[in-house]
Amino acid sequence: MSTSRAALLDAATAEFAKHGLRGARIQDIVARAGVNERMIYHHFGSKEKLYAAALVDRFAELRAAWAPVLEKAVTMEPYEGMRFALSGFADIIMNRPRLVGLWLHEALNGWRTLPLPTADMLPSALSEIYARGQKTGVFSTARPFELAHGTAMAAMFGMAVMAPRGEQILRAGGPALDDDATRRDLVLDQLMNGMATPRAD
């Protein structure tokens, strides 16, 4: 990747995450990147294509960061593996506020830029863990993987979005809730309990 293209992607990610596709200004992007405006059209063709490239780039980075976590998770027992995978995902996105910003703006724009995911595009490692858990009675067979995955992703991204607001609210719960790891684990507890097969009283 050329230096100017990489600089534009990084600058565009910052501006689009803050202002969205419509609100971000080309002048601000090129000023942040330190390149001439014509380089946008040279590398990407348009502002809209630059935005799409920024989305693709950040989600590729997310998948690459999550891949070793999933690789380890599939070697574990289903419950522990699922929790490990989701915990790793939460840590990744909590440290990538620009990705979360892009995700929010894309949602507000009606998911128009990239193709919407289909079931076969969901992480196969996570699906395999869930299927093993269903076969062994760990996870409920009444809850399909697609629903469990969607609920988990919504919770993880929601946690990242609501973190500043949640910190203020959760402080009332005492010092034990006043850190990211504890809040993450409490959210994971609720997710895992929702996936698990109900226990008979």
Question: Hey, where are the domains in the chain?
Answer: 54-195
High-pLDDT (> 90) share of the chain, %: 65
Among 39-48, 68-77, 171-180, where is mean pLDDT lowest? 171-180
Inform me whether the pLDDT recorded for 35 exceeds 60: yes
Bridge partner residues of 196 (DSSP) = 139
Distances (CA, A) of 182 to 85, 95, 187, 196: 17, 16, 9, 21
Name the 3-class secondary structure at 95: coil
Distance from C-alpha of 132 to C-alpha of 163, rounded to nearest angstrom:
32
What Å distances lie between residue 141 and 65, 130, 182, CA to CA? 30, 10, 29
pLDDT on residue 175? 52
Band (pLDDT 50/70/90 cuts) for residue 192 is confident
| The predicted structure's pLDDT at residue 117 | 80
Rg (CA), the chain: 19
* pLDDT bracket for residue 57 (50, 70, 90): very high
Q: Which CATH number fits domain 54-195: 1.10.3470, 3.20.20, 1.10.540, 1.10.357?
A: 1.10.357
Collect all residues with Cβ–Cβ distance below 8 Å to 41 and sequence separation of at least 6: none
Q: What are phi and psi of 139, to 5 degrees?
A: -110, 145
Mean pLDDT along residues 172-181: 61
pTM equals: 0.84
Give Cα separations from 79 to 73, 87, 89, 104 (angstroms).
10, 12, 16, 30
Q: Residue 79: what pLDDT?
A: 94
Tokens of 134: 């269903």
> What is the predicted pLDDT for the residue at 177?
55
- Checking if the pLDDT of 119 tops 90, the result is no
The pLDDT of residue 201: 43
Q: For residues 66-82, give the mean pLDDT.
A: 97
Which whole-number Å values give the CA distances from 1 to 6, 31, 112, 123, 132, in the listed order? 6, 20, 26, 27, 40
Distance between CA atoms of residues 86 and 150, nearest Å? 12
Give me the chain's average pLDDT, please.
Answer: 88
Q: What is the pLDDT of residue 173?
A: 56
